């Protein structure tokens, strides 16, 4: 969720993304990412862009932020996707249709299965290190209630 004028241009939002995606309001949480075309299973959807920061800085930013998009790359480094491309807005679902793969300092997003046009793209935050202790509202039959 961003307040005020957008911090990135539209082209930045689509940077490193291989399929047409758009932001939309989500039943899960705030704003989510939706497909504008089908994505076949196992395909690379794109790469999450952002700022690489230290774990210490990540902890400080999390403490002061209402909502922050962080992906931990290791015990000491994190990617702050708050001002990166659209893939930084991916919501969590316990029954996700996509997953993140961290390769060194890159965070890639892959489709788990075919994703139809208009579906929300979701990932399971629990599959990444350092998941928080938030309540989950994904509403899928496999929901674990906590992220």
Q: Is 136 in the site for Zn ion (CB under 5 A)?
A: yes
Q: Which stretch binds Zn ion (CB under 5 A): 25-33, 47-55, 112-120, 135-143?
A: 135-143
Residue (18 or 140) nearer to Zn ion, CB: 140
| Min CB(135)–Zn ion separation in Å | 9
| Min CB(70)–Zn ion separation in Å | 19
Supply φ then ψ for residue 21, to 5 degrees.
-130, 160
Strand partners, 76: none
Reference 135, options 23, 25, 28; nearest CA is: 28
Reference 33, options 144, 145, 109, 128; nearest CA is: 109
Count residues contacting Zn ion (CB under 5 A)? 4
Q: Is 53 in the site for Zn ion (CB under 5 A)?
A: no
Q: Is 138 in the site for Zn ion (CB under 5 A)?
A: yes
**DSSP designation for 39:** B
Structure tokens given for 104? 């060194």
Residue (7 or 27) nearer to Zn ion, CB: 27
Supply φ then ψ for residue 133, to 5 degrees.
-120, 45
Q: Is 94 in the site for Zn ion (CB under 5 A)?
A: yes
Positions that interact with Zn ion (CB under 5 A): 94, 136, 138, 143
């Amino acid at each position: 969720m961003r307040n005020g004028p957008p911090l990135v241009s539209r082209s930045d939002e689509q940077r490193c993304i291989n399929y047409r995606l758009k932001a939309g309001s989500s039943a899960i949480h705030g704003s989510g990412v939706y497909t504008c075309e089908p994505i076949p299973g196992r395909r690379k959807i794109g790469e999450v862009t952002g700022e690489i920061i230290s774990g210490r800085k990540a902890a400080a930013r999390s403490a002061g932020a209402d909502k922050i998009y962080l992906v931990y790359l290791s015990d000491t480094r994190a990617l702050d996707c708050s001002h990166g491309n659209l893939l930084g807005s991916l919501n969590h679902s316990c029954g996700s249709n996509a997953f993140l793969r961290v390769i060194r300092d890159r965070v890639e997003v892959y489709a788990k299965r075919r994703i139809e046009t208009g579906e929300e793209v979701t990932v399971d935050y629990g599959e990444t290190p350092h998941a928080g202790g938030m309540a989950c509202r994904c509403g899928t039959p496999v929901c674990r209630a906590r992220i």
